[in-house]
Amino acid sequence: MSAGRECAAGEAARRRTFAVISHPDAGKSTLTEALALHARAINEAGAVHGKAGRRGVASDWMEMEKARGISVTSAVLQFAHRGCILNLLDTPGHADFSEDTYRVLAAVDCAIMLVDAAKGLEEQTRKLFDVCRHRGVPVITFVNKWDRPGRDALELMDEIQREFSLRPTPVTWPVGPAGYLRGLVDVRDPGHMLRFTRALRGAHEAAEERIRADRAAAEEGGDWDVATEEIELLEADGAVHDQKGFLTGTTTPVFFGAALSNIGVRLLLDAVVDLAPPPGARELAGGGTRPVDAPFAGLVFKVQANMDPAHRDRIAFMRVCSGVFERGMTVTRAASGKPFATKYAHSVFGQDRSMADIAYPGDIIGLVNAAALRVGDTLYAERPAAFPPMPTFSPEHFAVARPADIGRTKQFRRGIAQLGEEGVVQVLVSDVRGEQAPVLAAVGPMQFEVVAHRMAGEFACPVLLEPLAYRLARATDAAGGEALNRSRLVRGEALTRLNDKTVLALFPDVWQANSFERAHPDARLAPLIAAHT
């Protein structure tokens, strides 16, 4: 093995690349910030809603995110902890941004599933877990907000096992019911309890005191007795962490805590280092795998423009999958076979970034002003490689977009094209409507809010959006599209998706689509991937 390959394999073993997933308002961005705080990557944690005297979280950098208190785009935070390099990807929690989250999950090796102590498993949590299972991404569970009233801990464990067919194996266990948290027990060290003193507004780490079992029993009384009995019950039932089961997706290690209070976060952060898998061989589109010690190959999973308002640049986020990446190296874009220069490569921490001279498997690199790159692109050196393409979800909401000021048509076209390339929405055009009135297609209506906000703020071109009464899209071909546009019996129309030239047949409902298929049996209609699968 050459020195370069040995270096790639050794550095890959030190990487942990993971995402945080959850239903909206479960505390995902707060946990992301708390993890960075405990790793000493930041000096003070912010709150998602930016309440009095506190900053917004580093991963929520868009003005709309700060104003609304939700994540509408994924963000990357890279920091070190206990000799490892952690690449943390914060994902949008809202279902309307499922495509962005799906793309992020294609770039990670593990996920932290956040569960609200009071609400348990919620709809978007279920959907995202299904994506993790489909992609073979192992899941660590963090039961959040245990400092507030909530459900019984054993009840939550039963719910995870029942709904996910996933065996929960607690690594930490709460002393005291939800809303009356007295401390945590690391089940690997049951002779002690960890007691926490919350910092003011949770801006700093919670002070942690390690207490012997006899003292905990004397001071906590019944709460300690209940906790130890429940731990013994779980152990007797075989709910003990199994690393092999975790990596194969049959078990999930469970941690309890409160992200806003920074309670239990250090134990979770240590678990990422100790339990989460390092980067491994990745599947190729044509079959086979690309090992981490192969020559360089990377996957572009996200494109984002205007992260730096002063420069209005464009950045392509690339996961290094194999080999060693060096800034300035010339690589090949698999989709075109053309060379691509990597002169401007940055490491990213939320909106902040710095020049990256070298990166290894698992690292996330931002390629600046990479106008030629698209989501799903593979870049490689020496030995050709192509990773499986990113799927596009079936849109369910459609709107015609027009500039509010016809004199800003140039800015309108540039902005819509940019947002389409980023995957904020799908952009559809037809010969009838023309490019001056593209149809925007979205999984959820909040995507249109992002379009309106960014077009006005970043491209100085407010837009008018006219909703269309379509709710169903099917892939077809040119002949099918022509038949649909000529049809007088079926409500619908065909448009071409700009990013891949796929012809989409749009219908108000399934009944209209079925009617068209009966009237035109030779026309091809193929279902697209649904956002809820």
Annotated binding-site ranges for GTP: 90-94
Residues tagged in the binding site annotation: 90-94
Task: State the Cα–Cα distance between residues 343 and 355, nearest whole angstrom.
Answer: 10
- Specify whether the CB–CB gap between 430 and 496 falls below 8 A: yes
**Residue 97 — left, alpha, or beta (φ > 0 → left; ψ -120 to 50 → alpha)?**
alpha
- Specify whether the CB–CB gap between 12 and 324 falls below 8 A: no
Task: State the Cα–Cα distance between residues 159 and 145, nearest whole angstrom.
Answer: 17
Closest CA to 391 of 438, 429, 340, 426: 426
Task: State the Cα–Cα distance between residues 274 and 271, nearest whole angstrom.
Answer: 5
For residue 422, the cross-strand partners are none
For residue 442, the cross-strand partners are 397
CA 187 to chain centre: 30
Closest CA to 439 of 397, 410, 386: 397
- Specify whether the CB–CB gap between 506 and 493 falls below 8 A: yes
- Specify whether the CB–CB gap between 113 and 252 falls below 8 A: yes
Task: State the Cα–Cα distance between residues 296 and 245, nearest whole angstrom.
Answer: 31
Closest CA to 65 of 461, 449, 458: 449
Can you read off the two tokens belonging to residue 463?
């837009």
